[in-house]
Protein backbone atom coordinates (compact mmCIF):
# COMPACT_ATOMS: atom_id res chain seq x y z
CA UNK A 1 0.00 0.00 0.00
CA UNK A 2 1.64 3.20 -1.19
CA UNK A 3 1.23 5.83 1.47
CA UNK A 4 2.88 8.54 -0.63
CA UNK A 5 1.91 8.78 -4.29
CA UNK A 6 3.26 10.83 -7.12
CA UNK A 7 0.82 10.03 -9.87
CA UNK A 8 2.67 11.72 -12.71
CA UNK A 9 5.74 9.73 -13.75
CA UNK A 10 6.86 12.62 -15.93
CA UNK A 11 6.11 16.27 -16.64
CA UNK A 12 7.29 18.49 -19.48
CA UNK A 13 7.36 22.28 -19.03
CA UNK A 14 8.58 25.16 -21.16
CA UNK A 15 11.55 27.08 -19.83
CA UNK A 16 10.42 30.19 -17.95
CA UNK A 17 6.98 28.80 -17.14
CA UNK A 18 5.75 27.37 -13.87
CA UNK A 19 6.34 23.72 -13.00
CA UNK A 20 3.87 22.13 -10.59
CA UNK A 21 4.66 18.75 -9.13
CA UNK A 22 2.03 16.96 -7.10
CA UNK A 23 2.09 14.48 -4.27
CA UNK A 24 -0.75 12.76 -2.40
CA UNK A 25 -0.58 10.89 0.87
CA UNK A 26 -2.93 8.64 2.78
CA UNK A 27 -1.65 8.72 6.34
CA UNK A 28 -3.12 11.63 8.29
CA UNK A 29 -0.42 11.14 10.95
CA UNK A 30 2.32 12.40 8.64
CA UNK A 31 3.51 15.68 10.10
CA UNK A 32 6.51 16.70 8.03
CA UNK A 33 7.04 16.68 4.29
CA UNK A 34 10.12 17.11 2.16
CA UNK A 35 10.99 17.45 -1.51
CA UNK A 36 14.21 16.12 -2.97
CA UNK A 37 15.68 16.45 -6.43
CA UNK A 38 17.76 13.75 -8.09
CA UNK A 39 20.03 13.98 -11.11
CA UNK A 40 21.17 10.79 -12.88
CA UNK A 41 24.12 9.07 -11.21
CA UNK A 42 23.79 11.26 -8.12
CA UNK A 43 22.06 10.87 -4.79
CA UNK A 44 18.93 12.92 -4.03
CA UNK A 45 19.45 16.51 -2.89
CA UNK A 46 17.22 18.21 -0.35
CA UNK A 47 15.13 21.03 -1.81
CA UNK A 48 12.51 22.26 0.61
CA UNK A 49 10.36 21.03 3.47
CA UNK A 50 7.13 21.93 5.23
CA UNK A 51 5.67 21.15 8.61
CA UNK A 52 2.02 20.16 8.94
CA UNK A 53 1.37 23.29 10.99
CA UNK A 54 1.99 25.39 7.88
CA UNK A 55 0.28 25.47 4.52
CA UNK A 56 3.05 27.15 2.54
CA UNK A 57 6.80 27.42 2.57
CA UNK A 58 8.86 29.40 0.12
CA UNK A 59 12.54 29.34 -0.77
CA UNK A 60 13.57 31.36 -3.78
CA UNK A 61 12.01 29.89 -6.90
CA UNK A 62 10.60 26.94 -4.94
CA UNK A 63 7.32 26.97 -3.03
CA UNK A 64 5.66 24.02 -1.37
CA UNK A 65 1.95 24.06 -0.62
CA UNK A 66 0.26 21.70 1.82
CA UNK A 67 -3.47 20.97 1.84
CA UNK A 68 -4.04 18.76 4.86
CA UNK A 69 -7.74 18.25 4.30
CA UNK A 70 -7.04 16.89 0.82
CA UNK A 71 -3.85 15.14 1.94
CA UNK A 72 -2.08 16.79 -0.94
CA UNK A 73 1.10 18.76 -1.38
CA UNK A 74 2.59 20.42 -4.40
CA UNK A 75 5.91 21.91 -5.37
CA UNK A 76 5.91 25.01 -7.55
CA UNK A 77 9.01 26.07 -9.43
CA UNK A 78 8.89 29.56 -10.92
CA UNK A 79 10.41 30.29 -13.35
CA UNK A 80 11.52 26.87 -14.55
CA UNK A 81 15.10 26.63 -15.74
CA UNK A 82 16.92 23.94 -17.76
CA UNK A 83 18.90 22.92 -14.67
CA UNK A 84 15.64 22.00 -12.98
CA UNK A 85 15.35 18.95 -15.23
CA UNK A 86 15.61 16.07 -12.77
CA UNK A 87 13.54 13.52 -10.90
CA UNK A 88 11.64 15.02 -7.96
CA UNK A 89 10.68 12.95 -4.95
CA UNK A 90 8.32 13.90 -2.20
CA UNK A 91 8.69 12.24 1.18
CA UNK A 92 6.60 12.24 4.34
CA UNK A 93 7.68 11.68 7.89
CA UNK A 94 5.77 9.47 10.29
CA UNK A 95 5.80 9.41 14.09
CA UNK A 96 8.95 7.29 14.02
CA UNK A 97 10.69 10.00 11.98
CA UNK A 98 10.96 7.48 9.17
CA UNK A 99 10.66 8.90 5.68
CA UNK A 100 8.12 7.38 3.30
CA UNK A 101 8.92 8.25 -0.30
CA UNK A 102 6.91 8.68 -3.45
CA UNK A 103 8.02 7.02 -6.70
CA UNK A 104 9.22 10.31 -8.19
CA UNK A 105 8.27 12.57 -11.08
CA UNK A 106 10.68 13.21 -13.91
CA UNK A 107 10.60 16.91 -14.80
CA UNK A 108 11.79 17.91 -18.26
CA UNK A 109 12.31 21.61 -18.97
CA UNK A 110 12.11 22.37 -22.67
CA UNK A 111 14.18 25.27 -24.03
CA UNK B 1 33.34 19.67 3.97
CA UNK B 2 33.38 16.22 2.38
CA UNK B 3 30.02 14.77 1.40
CA UNK B 4 28.62 11.32 2.00
CA UNK B 5 30.86 8.67 0.47
CA UNK B 6 29.60 5.28 -0.60
CA UNK B 7 31.81 2.46 -1.75
CA UNK B 8 31.92 0.71 -4.07
CA UNK B 9 30.00 2.61 -6.74
CA UNK B 10 29.23 -0.47 -8.80
CA UNK B 11 29.09 -4.14 -7.92
CA UNK B 12 28.19 -7.31 -9.76
CA UNK B 13 27.46 -10.40 -7.71
CA UNK B 14 26.09 -13.86 -8.33
CA UNK B 15 22.90 -15.23 -6.80
CA UNK B 16 23.55 -16.78 -3.42
CA UNK B 17 26.59 -14.64 -2.64
CA UNK B 18 26.71 -12.00 0.03
CA UNK B 19 27.74 -8.37 -0.26
CA UNK B 20 28.83 -5.56 2.04
CA UNK B 21 28.34 -1.91 1.17
CA UNK B 22 30.01 0.96 2.98
CA UNK B 23 28.93 4.50 3.81
CA UNK B 24 30.96 7.30 5.34
CA UNK B 25 28.66 10.11 6.54
CA UNK B 26 29.41 13.80 6.67
CA UNK B 27 31.66 14.62 9.58
CA UNK B 28 29.57 15.30 12.67
CA UNK B 29 26.47 13.53 11.39
CA UNK B 30 25.37 10.73 13.68
CA UNK B 31 22.34 9.41 11.82
CA UNK B 32 22.85 7.13 8.83
CA UNK B 33 19.92 5.75 6.85
CA UNK B 34 19.95 3.19 4.07
CA UNK B 35 17.53 3.01 1.17
CA UNK B 36 16.90 0.73 -1.77
CA UNK B 37 15.79 2.25 -5.06
CA UNK B 38 14.50 0.15 -7.94
CA UNK B 39 13.21 1.45 -11.29
CA UNK B 40 9.75 3.01 -10.97
CA UNK B 41 9.85 2.80 -7.20
CA UNK B 42 10.53 5.43 -4.65
CA UNK B 43 13.20 4.97 -2.08
CA UNK B 44 12.39 2.05 0.15
CA UNK B 45 13.67 2.48 3.69
CA UNK B 46 15.96 -0.27 4.94
CA UNK B 47 17.18 0.90 8.33
CA UNK B 48 18.57 3.82 10.27
CA UNK B 49 21.46 3.91 12.71
CA UNK B 50 22.22 6.53 15.30
CA UNK B 51 25.22 6.35 17.61
CA UNK B 52 25.88 2.71 16.70
CA UNK B 53 22.29 1.66 17.47
CA UNK B 54 19.66 0.64 14.97
CA UNK B 55 16.89 3.10 15.63
CA UNK B 56 14.47 2.13 12.86
CA UNK B 57 13.99 -0.75 10.48
CA UNK B 58 11.95 -1.05 7.30
CA UNK B 59 10.09 -4.06 5.95
CA UNK B 60 12.94 -6.02 4.46
CA UNK B 61 13.84 -9.64 5.13
CA UNK B 62 16.49 -10.59 7.64
CA UNK B 63 18.97 -11.10 4.80
CA UNK B 64 19.45 -7.34 4.95
CA UNK B 65 21.44 -6.17 7.93
CA UNK B 66 23.59 -3.26 8.90
CA UNK B 67 25.77 -1.78 11.53
CA UNK B 68 27.35 1.49 12.52
CA UNK B 69 30.77 2.06 13.96
CA UNK B 70 31.91 4.51 16.61
CA UNK B 71 33.09 6.94 13.91
CA UNK B 72 29.53 6.88 12.45
CA UNK B 73 30.61 4.98 9.36
CA UNK B 74 28.04 2.39 8.43
CA UNK B 75 27.93 -0.84 6.51
CA UNK B 76 25.03 -2.81 5.17
CA UNK B 77 25.18 -6.48 4.32
CA UNK B 78 22.96 -8.56 2.11
CA UNK B 79 23.30 -12.31 2.37
CA UNK B 80 22.10 -15.01 -0.02
CA UNK B 81 21.62 -12.52 -2.84
CA UNK B 82 18.57 -12.82 -5.08
CA UNK B 83 18.03 -11.38 -8.56
CA UNK B 84 15.45 -8.99 -7.08
CA UNK B 85 18.11 -7.41 -4.89
CA UNK B 86 19.51 -5.67 -7.94
CA UNK B 87 19.04 -1.99 -7.18
CA UNK B 88 20.65 1.30 -6.30
CA UNK B 89 21.46 1.39 -2.60
CA UNK B 90 21.59 4.86 -1.16
CA UNK B 91 22.97 6.04 2.12
CA UNK B 92 21.93 9.31 3.74
CA UNK B 93 23.38 11.08 6.73
CA UNK B 94 21.90 13.75 8.94
CA UNK B 95 22.84 15.44 12.16
CA UNK B 96 19.83 14.31 14.15
CA UNK B 97 16.56 12.77 13.12
CA UNK B 98 16.44 11.20 9.64
CA UNK B 99 13.43 13.28 8.65
CA UNK B 100 15.46 16.45 8.81
CA UNK B 101 17.54 17.56 5.86
CA UNK B 102 19.54 14.51 4.87
CA UNK B 103 22.55 14.36 2.60
CA UNK B 104 22.82 11.45 0.24
CA UNK B 105 25.75 9.64 -1.24
CA UNK B 106 25.89 8.77 -4.92
CA UNK B 107 24.79 5.24 -4.17
CA UNK B 108 26.06 1.76 -4.91
CA UNK B 109 24.62 0.11 -7.99
CA UNK B 110 24.30 -3.60 -7.21
CA UNK B 111 23.61 -6.05 -10.01
CA UNK B 112 22.86 -9.66 -9.13
CA UNK B 113 23.26 -12.15 -11.98
CB atoms B4 and A43 under 8 Å: yes
- In a 13 Å sphere around the CA of B94, the CA atoms on its Cβ side amount to 17
Integer Cα distance of B90 and B76 in angstroms: 11
Chain segment B46-93, per-residue pLDDT in tens: 999 999 999 989 999 999 999 999 999 999 999 999 999 999 999 999
Chain segment B100-112, per-residue pLDDT in tens: 788 999 999 999 9
Residues of chain A numbered 45-74 and touching chain B (CB < 8 Å): 45-46, 49
Nearest by CB to B99, from A45, A93, A102: name it.
A93
Nearest by CB to B106, from A43, A89, A99: name it.
A43
Q: Tell me the β-bridge partners of B13.
A: B112
Integer Cα distance of B76 and B54 in angstroms: 12
Residue B108 near residue B23, CB atoms below 8 Å: no
DSSP-based three-state secondary structure for A7: coil
Amino acid sequence: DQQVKQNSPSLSVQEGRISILNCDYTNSMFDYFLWYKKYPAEGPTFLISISSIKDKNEDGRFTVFLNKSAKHLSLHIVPSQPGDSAVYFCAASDSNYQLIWGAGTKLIIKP
Amino acid sequence: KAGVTQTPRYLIKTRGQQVTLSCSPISGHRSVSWYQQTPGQGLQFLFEYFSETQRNKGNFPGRFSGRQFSNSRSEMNVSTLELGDSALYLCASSWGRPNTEAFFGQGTRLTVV
